[in-house]
Each structure stands twice: as structure tokens, then as C-alpha cells.
Structure 1
Amino acid sequence: MGKRANGEGSLYQRGDGKWCASLRYEDPTTGERGRKTFYGRTKTEARAKMKAARDRIDGGGPVRDSSATVAQWLAEWRQTTLAASSRKATTKANYGCLAKRHLEAGAIGAVSLERLRPADVERLIIALRARGLSEATVQRVFNVLRMALADAVRDGLMARNPAAAIAQPKVARKEARFLSQDETRRILEAARRTRYYAVLATIAALGLRRGEALALRWADVDLDAGTVHVRGTLARIDGELVVTEPKTAKSRRVLALSPGMVRLLKDTRKKQLEERLRAANIWQEGGYVFTTPCGTPFEPRNVLRALTTAAEHAGVEGATVHTLRHSAATMWLENGVNLKAVSELLGHADIRITADVYGHVSAEVARAAVTASAAAIGL
């Protein structure tokens, strides 16, 4: 419940000709009484300012927005509201990084909450684009600011959220970059003699996200049944490698292993046991499938470097670890796996995500099917 204004307040003219409007109010939550004075060159101007304040109070807002700067509020927001939220640790870390890098350190960070206007948010968007940031990053920064300001309104620091009046920056949909089967084979062949071959091959075969593959533990793998359970994702958060919950509820899934994948993982397990014996007391047992020579999980950035190096040796441009995931999905679709099944294999939260990313592939598959059926009846 917000503050209620008491009466109409008082209105008078000072000796210098300026008009003053004094508003008394009481906060029903704390019982504290307050008074706010507004000034204007005319009686009408002073009265309008008082009325605006009374409307804010009656609507549950503060009589006046906080004088704290956007940067000061964001710093507090990161340590309180964001930290206490139920969002994934990786999401919190990402939001915090975006806030510090692009908002607190930027021009908008120096603006006080009481002076922040929708035009300031629009200038932020223009400035981010001018710096060459991707539209996806611009959108994420905007969303972080909008969330933080919404919480400032909730906490009574602002009456309205200036970012809520601005349309979210759009991100043009891009078709996923994918590799041909030959390109994927060449990259894996180039990586075969490295210790990263097994994890890259697993991502390419199962369409896993990098973090999902690195979080796999032997307890998640049943080599006899030929299955693997995806239960978490590994990422570096605040300097530590941490396994968190999967990206979405549907990211928790069970995937079938081909005979070749079973052989690969058995070989990986055998080599790991040999390394464990050699490492002796420096071995750090975490139960991970893909590890360093001392048993710790792979550093995500090193897996990316290994893929990039292999791609260069294979003469393949524009490949990333995520490209292997896209390529697996594309091959499934091209081999007749329906879109719903591919969505489940990828662990997408909604089949519409799969359709957006791989719509061009499924359309080509549909065209090929129609052409083949027409040819079969002589058309």
C-alpha cells in the first residue's frame, strides 16, 4: 500500500513573486509524516507540481524519485535483488557483467534516478550500437536495465520505469551456421590426436551444448544400455568452474549412444584410469567424463581453442563449438528426423525455437520429400 496525501495542501506566494505549494502526507506503512514543497513561477505551475506528487503518492509511488544515480542503484541491485533471485548462477553472472560493463560504467550510470527519462534509455541504445555491439547484446543490456529499474519502482525509489516506455530492441533472426558432414569429419580428424577429440566428437554426435558435455560425469553414462543423461551444465562463474542446473527444464534429457560412441567413451574411460594411476596423489576425483591429466574438468575456453585450431588445420572457416551442435541438428533433419524429435534431442524449451533456428533446413527437407513423392508417380 502506498502513501496517502492529506488534503489539498497549502498554496501561497512568496515575497519574490514565486508560488509555493506545500503537500503534507503520511506513509501508512511506517506512520511517518512528511511534507514536500514545490515551487513555480505561477500559481498554476506550483499547483500542477503538487498535484503530480499527490497522484504519485496515491498511486503507491514515492513523493519524489531517489537522487541516487543509475550506477549506484545497479551496484546495490546486483548485490541484493539479483543475488537473491532464483535465476541460474550463470544468468546472474551474465546480468551482473552486463550491468557493470555497459551501464554502470557508461554515461547513463551517472544519471540520477529522479532525472532518468525514456530519452536517456534511447540514447543508451544508440551509443551501444555505435560501439559496434551486436543487436543481441544491445537487447540483453536493455533488458537488464529494464529489470533493474522495475525493481527500483518496486522498492519505492521511482514512480515509473522509464525503460518500460521504450520498445525492446529487435534482434534479426539469423540462420544457424552449420557444417557439412565432410567438414565435421575433417575437423574431428584434425582433433583426433588431441585430448579434446572425445569431447568434440561427443558434441558433434549428440548435439550437446558445450557446458552440457563438460558437465557429464560417469554416473550420467550407462555404457551397457548405451545411454547418457544430461543433468547439468559447466561454466566458469566468478573465477570458479561450477556445474549448475541445465538451461531449461527440457534440457534434462536422456540420449541414445551409437555403438561408435560407446566405443569412444569406453576408450576415454580406459585412458582416464591410466592417467589417474600416473597422477597418483595429485589426481582430483570429480567423476567427470572429460578431464585434464589431473582429473579436473576441461576449461570451456580451452575446448573452444581446440575446436578453432582443428578447424584451421582442416581448412574450415567460421566454426565454433556451438557450430557442431547446429551441424548435428541439421544432419538429423536432413536424414528425415522430424522437427519435434530434433527439438527434444537438442533440449529446446519450445519447438518454436527449433523451428526458428532450423526452419530453412526443414523446409528443404519437405521440398525434397515432395519432389521424391512426385517423381515416384511420374510427375
Structure 2
Amino acid sequence: MGKRANGEGSVRQRKGKDGRPTGRWEGRISFLDPITDRRRSVSVYGDSARECRAALKKVVQRIEEGQPARDAAVTVADWLKTWRTTALEASDRRATTKALYAGLSRTHLETGDLGAKRLDRLKPSDVEALVVRLRKAELSESTVRQVYTVLRGALEIAVRDGLLASNPVAKVRRPKVTRTEARHLSAVEVQSLLSHARGSRYYAAVVLMAFTGLRRGEVAGLAWTDLDLDKAEMTVRHTLSRVGGELVLSEPKTTRSRRRVPLAAPLVAELRDHKLRQDTERKAAANTWTETGMVFTTAAGTMVDPRNMLRVVEVAAKAAGIEDVGAHTLRHSAAVGLLEGGAHIKAVADILGHSSIAITGDIYGHTSDDAARSALDNLGAMLGTPTP
């Protein structure tokens, strides 16, 4: 038995079946597990008594700091599968976020070398190798960051549950996402797109997106009780999205996303016409109509998949000869139009539902040459001619 210091546990040389020393040393310590409240023991091994005492000292330090004596030996994939069905499912995240995180975990984290790695052997360099691999696969910067976020969050739960002493992902810098100038249309292009969308079942929804900058899920999630056409305003209370093959109506992600938005007179007129058309449809459908109370519905009264509204925008843009129109193009166009029309950035942030004006400034901080020149001309007029 080797000499031991107080609190270091016991250290002894290991022996083979023949009773002779094998050249390896074993250190062993007994302690009360703070998680299970039961007494357990941990062994460490080394080529010398000194090496074992050093390893035992680290174990004692971890125990005294309330950390697990040693990290769990389960694989990363096994832990992520457990996390998906427990902590993630029990969280208060939106259903769409849960579905996104679970999909990213299955696709990018639970497969390959990383998924097969033991949790107790995962190093920051393994996480960095993951980031490199994702970038080489030409995933977008935002997707790479989301995968990082999923792994970091899952391993934080592993630390909480006593499976890890520390989170190796937290030691790796969060992958950056380069801000790019938002693609937007000029007022003339928006007018052309709306002209080519006229006649579509969801024309009023496209007009609403163009006039207010609402997201398509917010437009699809509008109920008639959210609109006050007499006061020319509406309140954004829900967003509609498809999760696991079903349409799910949920509250917006942030408090700022739940907002009141004023409505321009032409938009109010269009919505009144739309309501009359819907009332006519409801009467014609009779008992086959499903009453949902939604502003935009299918011919049977049921909720509309937000993707259908996007298709109308894409088809109208193609007919108008406008390229590179995506899910948020009308939203971006409304924001730029408001800013260049002289609206204060705080008002624009409120209309769009941004959590801060910093986000609005980062995305829409640019102006056209004409707007910049007009602003400087106005400032020059206010300052007058410099006195010699």
C-alpha cells in the first residue's frame, strides 16, 4: 500500500493472477454522491503512485466543487437522443423550434464521428472539427450556428444532470453569422408584383404583407378578432406554422412580436372587400364550411399553410419579371420603404416586431443614394451657409 495524504484515497500497486506486481498502479477513493445521496467509489490508474495521487486529487477537487467524480461514458448520440425526448420536449420553446432543434440533432450531431464519440472524451477540438465539417458541406452560416447552439444546449443539460463536469462546447467560440444586406424591392417593383398577384385567392394576404411587413406565418395566423377595421389597426397575437405535418397556431416568439400595427386606408378597403368575399363563400359552402374565424382560409374555411402565400408571391414575381424573391422579400421591402419614407427607426422596429432597434439598424441600416443625398441636403438647409 502506498503512502497517502489526507483526502487522497488509497493508492496501491496492481498485481497479476500470479500475485506479482504488474507495473500499473491503482488509486481508489470512496465518497458520498451528492446526486444519488449514496456512497460510491471511483478508481483511477497510472504508471506510478505519483500519477495516481495526482488523478485522485482531481477527482477530490471535482467532488468538492459539486461536479461528478467522472464524466459519463455514454456516446454523444445516445445522450442527444435522451435530451431530445426529455429536456427539449419539456422546455417552453415553441413547437417549431423544438422540431428544428430535433431535426438538426438527428441530421448533424447524432451521426458520424461526433455521434460515436464518448461524452467523457469529447473535447473542444472535436466541436471545432464539427464546425469545419459543416462549413465544408457548404451549410449556411446560420445553420452552422444553430447546430452549435443545439449541441451546446444539450450538453448544458448533461452538466446539470451530473454527466459532465463542464461543457466542452462552451469553450469554443460561437460561429459567426455575417450580416448581409436584405434583398428588397423598389416601390415600383412592389406595385408590379401586386398587380400580377391580383386575381389570386390570397391577393389580400400579399397586399397585407407588402403594406405592413408582417411575416407570412403572422399573416396566416390572423383572426378577424385581431382586426379592428373601424379603427384601422390590428394586433399580431399568433403565428401559424407547419410542425410535423400539421398546422400549429402558436404565440409569437417574443413579447415585441406581439404588437399592434396601424393599417393604411387602401389596405383597410382591401380587407373589407376580402371579408365580403369570404362571407359569400361561407354562405355558398353552407354546412361544408369549417368555421375557424381566420382572416385567410381555404375554400372550405380551414387554415391556410403559410407556404401557399409564399407561392403566390413567387408566381407573381416571376410573372412580373422580378428575380430572387424569397420568403421575406416583401417584409424587407416594407421596412426599407418605411425608413426611406422618413419613418423613425423605433417606429419601424415596432411595426416589424423586432426585439430592439439594433436589429432593425443592422438589417436595414443602409439607404439609397437618393435618400442619403436628400437627408444631407435637408441638414445643409438647416445649418445654412457657414460664416467666414
TM-score exceeds 0.5: yes
Runs of 4+ in 1 over 3 A off after TM superposition: 28-31, 362-367, 375-379
Q: Residue 186 of structure 1 is aligned with which of 180, 187, 192? A: 192
User: Is 1:13–2:19 an aligned residue pair?
Assistant: no
Map Cα deviations across residues 278-324 of structure 1 (whole Å, 9 max, x no partner). Answer: 22222111111011101112112222222111111111111123110
Separation in 2 of the partners of 1:263 and 1:255?
Answer: 16
- CA distance in 2 between counterparts of 1:117 and 1:373 reads 56
**Residues 1:172 and 2:148 aligned together:** no
Aligned to 2:17: none
1:28-70 deviations in Å (ceiling 9; x for gaps): 4543111112111122222222222222222212122111111
- 1:146 touches 1:164 (CA, 8 Å); kept in 2? yes
Q: Which amino acid aligns with 1:317?
A: E
Report if aligned partners of 2:34, 2:66 keep a CA contact under 8 Å in 1: no
- SS of the residue corresponding to residue 36 of structure 1 reads strand
Corresponding residue to 1:103 among 95, 106, 109: 109
Secondary structure of 1:360's counterpart equals: coil
For 1:106 and 1:218, locate their aligned partners in 2 and report how far apart those are by CA, in whole Å: 49
Which of 226, 233, 236 is the equivalent residue of 1:227? 233
What does residue range 117-128 of structure 1 map to in structure 2 within 5 Å?
A: 117-128=123-134
Distance 1:351 1:178 in 2: 19
Q: What is the match of residue 161 of structure 1? A: 167
How far does residue 374 in structure 1 lie from its aligned partner after superposition?
2.3
- Which among 22, 30, 34 is matched to residue 40 of structure 2? 34
Aligned pair partner of 2:156 in 142, 150, 174: 150
| 2:274 paired residue among 257, 268, 272 | 268
- The alignment-based identity, stated in percent, is 49
> Within 2, Cα distance between the matches of 1:31 and 1:213?
53
Which whole-Å deviations, capped at 9, do the CAs of 1:110-169 have from their partners, x for residues lacking one? Answer: 111111111110111011111110111101110110011011000001111110110001
Task: Please report how far the alpha carbon of residue 362 of structure 1 lies from its aligned counterpart in structure 2 after TM superposition.
Answer: 8.6
2:77 counterpart of 1:77:
no
- Please state if 1:350 is matched with 2:385: no
Residue 319 of structure 2: aligned partner: 313
Q: CA deviation at 1:346?
A: 0.8
| Secondary structure class of the residue paired with 2:40 | strand
Indicate whether 1:199 and 2:167 are aligned: no
C-alpha RMSD over aligned residues: 1.8
Q: 2:141 aligns with which of 135, 153, 158?
A: 135
Aligned counterparts, 1:233-312, within 5 A: 233-312=239-318
Question: For 1:143 and 1:31, how far apart are their aligned partners in 2?
Answer: 32
Asked if the contact 1:283–1:294 (Cα under 8 Å) also holds between the matched residues in 2, the reply is yes
Contact kept in structure 2, 1:118 and 1:162, CA below 8 Å? yes
Q: Is the 8 A contact 2:8 2:53 kept in 1?
A: no
Asked whether the equivalents of residues 21 and 46 of structure 1 are also in contact (C-alpha less than 8 Å), the reply is: yes
Number of matched residues? 374
Aligned to 1:361: 367
Q: Give the distance between the partners of 1:7 and 1:313, measured in 2 at CA.
A: 79
Separation of aligned partners in 2, 1:130 and 1:30? 44
Does the 8 Å contact 2:80/2:154 carry over to 1?
Answer: yes
Q: Which amino acid aligns with 1:81?
A: A
- Is the 8 Å Cα contact of residues 7 and 60 (structure 2) preserved in structure 1? no
Per-residue CA distance 1:190-244 (angstroms, 9 max, x = gap): 1111112111110110110111111001111111121111111111122211111
Q: Which moved more, 1:335-344 or 1:95-104?
A: 95-104
- Relative distance call for 1:341 and 1:28 in structure 2 (3 A) is closer
Check 1:369–1:65 CA distance in 2 against 1; reply closer, same or farther (3 A cut). same
Cα distance in 2 between the residues matched to 1:224 and 1:378: 49
The equivalent of 1:3 in structure 2 is none
* Structure 1: gaps spanning 5 or more residues: 1-5
Alignment-mate amino acid for residue 235 of structure 2: H
Q: Deviations over 1:338-363 (max 9, x none)?
A: 11111111111111111111111299
For residues 107 and 358 of structure 1, do their structure 2 counterparts lie closer, same or farther at Cα, with a shift above 3 Å needed?
Answer: same
| Aligned amino acid, residue 84 of structure 1 | A
Alignment partner of 1:59 is 2:73: no
1:296 and 1:105, CA in 2 relative to 1: closer, same or farther beyond 3 A?
Answer: farther
CA distance 1:250–1:313, shift in 2 (3 Å):
same
| Aligned mates of 2:135, 2:295 — CA distance in 1 | 41
Aligned residue for 2:367, secondary structure, equals: helix
For 2:18, the equivalent position in structure 1 comes to none
- The answer to whether the 8 A contact 1:333-1:365 is kept is no
